[in-house]
Structure formats: C-alpha cells, structure tokens
C-alpha cells in the first residue's frame, strides 16, 4: 500500500515537471516570422551616467553643506487680540502684549558668527536663539534687516564655525538640479531635492511701507515648508545659489503645494555685506515704474518681438528723469545685460549704491539709444507720477456725450464731461463706456471706467481724435495711455485686427 502511494506521488511530480517545462517553454515560443521584426531603438538614450556617482553628488553636498545651516527660534510680541473675531463673547478690547513663537533657518556666512536669513524670520523679535548642527545653542542679535528684499543678518558670539560657499546665481539655469536645506516644520537639518523651475519670478509677497519691494525669485520644485525660510538653496557643487524665502500655498493651508521661491544669492551677498558694515542698505534707485513688454506693445512701438521692459511712469526729480529717460521708453539692457522682467532690473540695481552709474540701452522712436543714469538714494516721500496731461481750464463743465463703438477691438468710448476730467485730474481723454468680453480690448485688461488719454504720443481730446488715431492701423498695433479713477496710469499695447 505504501509502495503504491509512493509510486503515485513520484508519478505526479514527474508529470508536474513535464507540464511545467512545456508551459514555460510555451511562453518563450515565438510565432514564425515575428522574430525577424525589430521594434524599439537598439541602444538606450543615455549610457554614460553612473547612477551611483549621481547619487553620491547629493550625499556629498548634504554632508558638506548641512553643518553650515542653522535653526532659528524667535520670540516676538504681538498686540493683536486673539478674540477679535468673537466680539459677542469677548466685547472688551484687549491690547495686552502677547508672546509669539516662530522659527526659521539661516546660513552661516562667516566663521565668527554672522548668519544670513530672512527679514520675516526675525522681524519684531525680542529674542533670537540659534541652534547649530552640532546641537550647540547661542542667543543671537539682529545686525540689520532689509524689508525690501526680505533679508536680514544676525550674529552669534562664536568662532571657528563652518562657513557656506556662496555661489553665482547669474549662472543658474532652468532645469538644473538643486537641493533645499533647512529646518521645515521643526524637522532639523532636512534636505530635499528638485530642479530650478523658473527664474525672475515676481510673486508680490514682499510688503514694504516705502513701496520699494524687490522681487526676482528663483523658483524650484524642491520641497520647502514653513521653517525653511532663510535656509539654503544649493547646486550640486554645494554652492549656495539662493536663500529660501517663500512657498506657493492653497486655501487655508500654509504647506507646500509644488513650488518654492528663493532670493538669488548675488543679491543676498550685496545686501548682507552692507548690513554687516553699516546695519542698513544704502541702495541706489533709478526711479521708474516698469512692466514687461507683450507682443501687442512690441508691435505698437516697432520692436521685432516682445522683449525688454516699458517705462510706465517716472519719479519726479528722480535719477531716470534727470538722465532723460521718458515714458514709453523700452529698456532693453542694463550695463549690457538683457532685461525682460521688472525683477531683473530691480535686482541688478539693488546690488548698486547711491552714486553708482548704470547704462541703459533703450528703444525709443524706432531706434536704439543709450542713457547713463546716476543712481540716487530713494526718497520715501517721492512718488512715481505719470507725465502731466494737457490742461484746458476753460472747458465746459457739463454737456452731451458723443459715443462710438469699435467692434473690431470690442471697445465703446465716449467724450468726457468737464466734471469727469476734474475727477480724473486730466485735461483730456475719452472714457471707456463698455468692453466686449473676449475682445482684443478685454484681453489687454481694458475696462469700463478707464480713460484713454493718449494713442502713441498723441493726446486724445475727443472720440473723433481716438477714431483718427486708430484708423488705418488695421493689422498693426497702437499704444494707449490709460488712467483710472485714482490717478494711476499705464501704457497698453492694443492690436487692431
């Protein structure tokens, strides 16, 4: 009985082996003729990358740079009332100062304890404490701050510290690998990696009472979260190319959703040196309000393509006005460097001091010219103002309005009354009465209630003037000067189909 069972078991094993061999060989069987068909490339596209060496680059940067990054804990006072949103339950005003805790990161820039960080990390701080990579802690003093760039320098009483190597952010390329090193969400010495996603970003996050905000951010997809502020963005040589400053957020969350922003290190180097030397920044200013040039504006002024930045308005008595810079000028270069975003010019000029000279290459009246500007100290009381409009003091105060619709651009304009001109503080212009959705005018953000005062360099006094100014411009573009009810002006390129 046992022998029969043993024989049966052996037989089943043999049958299983034979069936398995047939099955496996069946999967490797190729229909006759298909073996001769070639699909796919013969060689992989990249064969010279040593993955281990690539990984080692990240490891070495983390090991070398992380000790130069510090964690910053801040205590500040706030007079805000935590119950102000619940007046029914807490009806009495409470201005008692309250302690608030904050944290961030910093980069050691000298072996004797100078540390570069963000202004918003140490702003209004009553106490600043620094923790080093080796777990030593020091109380720090604020050496100086620069709200216009969101940079600050603090100092600890130490020596022999590891110092970060500060690179050259002008050489940064979109697409290159970078690493963000800091202390996000109180997670000390955290390293993340990504690429440079864009350069020259102006995201409108720096708020300064003087109105001189300077934004020229590097954008990265390396993960950055609260607590990373003031930390380092480094390339794969370990050079610091930016100071992490902001993140894109969504809704009520303050957490990372895909993009972070860093201040270019070249700007940070210049600011930090001045803060160490004097505790403040003696920054030079050109005194212009500028915007990028779009294709319609380029067409209107005769440029070959959309490039440069347009002067929208000038500071009265400022450096630009004294150097014969005019509204509608297109700034193409500064000291031979191309500029296509407002932040590029602002960042470059921010690295200069009052009294320094810069050469602007300008497009004006269909030709390229140069003007040398001697930078001036910013006067916080000065304002960027549009050129004054034509004055007609004896105009009638009221009267019927002549209205005309231009279907090809989706714009309806009408003559202005004298009272309206007084309200808009202009001596001339036509009022935009209506803008058709999805029209050329709509696309250029022209809207009801704006006033068109110029087409090109011709003042517009009536609907008839406007009609004459744009007739015959089919297939071209014109440059409009518009003002709003608050007296703000801008130039707008408008294509005429």
Element (H, E) at 273: helix 265-278
Q: What are phi and psi of 437, to 5 degrees?
A: -60, 145
Single out the catalytic residue among 120, 221, 347, 495: 120
Active site residue 229: yes
Contacts of 396 (CB under 8 A, 6+ apart): 417, 418
- Beta pairing partners, 434: 412
Active site residue 94: no
> Per-residue b/e over 371-404, b at no fewer than 16 CB within 10 Å?
bebebbebeeeeebebeebeeeeebeeeeeeeeb
DSSP string, 387-441: PPPP--TT--S--PPPEEEETTTTEEEEEPPHHHHHHHT-SS-EEEEEE-TTSHH
What is the spatial distance between Cα 438 and Cα 491, in angstroms, rounded to a whole number?
Answer: 20
Active site residue 83: no
Q: Which of 482, 476, 496 minimizes the C-alpha distance to 301? A: 476
Single out the catalytic residue among 103, 169, 197, 229: 229
What is the spatial distance between Cα 69 and Cα 240, in angstroms, rounded to a whole number?
Answer: 11
Single out the catalytic residue among 105, 146, 150, 329: 150
Contact 389, 489 (CB under 8 A): no
End-to-end CA distance of the chain: 100
Q: What are phi and psi of 249, to 5 degrees?
A: -125, 170
Contacts of 192 (CB under 8 A, 6+ apart): 179, 180, 222, 223, 224
Which residues participate in catalysis according to the annotation?
A: 120, 150, 229
């Amino acid at each position: 009985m046992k022998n029969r069972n043993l024989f049966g078991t052996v037989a089943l094993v043999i049958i299983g082996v034979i069936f398995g061999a047939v099955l496996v060989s069946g999967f490797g069987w190729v229909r006759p003729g298909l073996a001769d068909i070639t699909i796919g490339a013969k060689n992989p596209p990249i064969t010279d990358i040593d993955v281990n060496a690539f990984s080692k680059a990240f490891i070495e940067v983390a090991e070398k740079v992380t000790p130069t990054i510090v964690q910053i804990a801040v205590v500040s006072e706030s007079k805000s009332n935590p119950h102000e949103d619940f007046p029914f339950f807490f009806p009495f005003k409470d201005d008692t100062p309250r302690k608030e805790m904050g944290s961030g990161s910093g980069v050691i820039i000298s072996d004797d304890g100078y540390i570069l960080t963000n202004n918003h990390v140490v702003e209004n701080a009553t106490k600043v404490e620094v923790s080093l990579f080796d777990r030593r802690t020091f109380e720090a003093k604020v050496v100086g701050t620069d709200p216009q760039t969101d940079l600050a320098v603090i100092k600890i009483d130490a020596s022999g510290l590891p110092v970060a190597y500060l690179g050259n952010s002008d050489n940064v390329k979109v697409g290159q690998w970078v690493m963000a090193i800091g202390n996000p969400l109180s997670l000390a010495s955290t390293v993340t990696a990504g690429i440079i996603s864009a350069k020259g970003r102006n995201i409108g996050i720096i708020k300064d009472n003087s109105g001189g905000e300077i934004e020229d951010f590097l954008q990265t997809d390396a993960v950055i979260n609260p607590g990373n502020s003031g930390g380092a963005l480094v390339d794969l040589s370990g050079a610091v190319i930016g100071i992490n400053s902001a993140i894109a957020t969504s809704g009520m969350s303050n957490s990372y959703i895909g993009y972070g922003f860093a201040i270019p290190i070249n700007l940070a180097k210049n600011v930090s040196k001045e803060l160490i030397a004097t505790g403040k920044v003696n920054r030079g200013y050109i005194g212009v309000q500028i915007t990028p040039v779009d294709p319609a504006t380029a067409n209107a002024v005769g440029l070959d393509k959309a490039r440069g930045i347009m002067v929208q308005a000038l500071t009265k008595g400022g450096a630009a006005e004294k150097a014969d810079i005019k509204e509608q000028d297109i700034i193409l270069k500064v000291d031979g460097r191309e500029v296509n975003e407002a932040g590029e010019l602002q960042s470059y000029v921010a690295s200069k001091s009052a009294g320094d000279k810069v050469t602007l290459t300008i497009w004006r009246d269909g030709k390229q010219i140069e003007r040398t500007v001697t930078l001036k100290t910013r006067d916080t009381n000065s304002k960027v103002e549009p050129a004054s409009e034509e004055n007609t003091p004896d105009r009638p105060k009221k009267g019927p309005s002549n209205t005309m619709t231009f279907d090809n651009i989706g714009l309806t304009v009408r003559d202005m009354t004298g009272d309206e001109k007084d309200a808009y503080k202009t001596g001339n212009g036509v009022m935009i009465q209506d803008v058709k959705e999805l029209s050329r005018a709509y696309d250029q953000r022209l809207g009801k209630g704006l006033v068109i005062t110029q087409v090109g360099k011709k003042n517009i006094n009536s609907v008839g003037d406007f009609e004459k100014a744009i007739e015959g411009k089919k297939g071209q573009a014109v440059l409009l000067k518009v003002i709003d009810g608050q007296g703000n002006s801008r130039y707008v390129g408008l294509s005429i189909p």
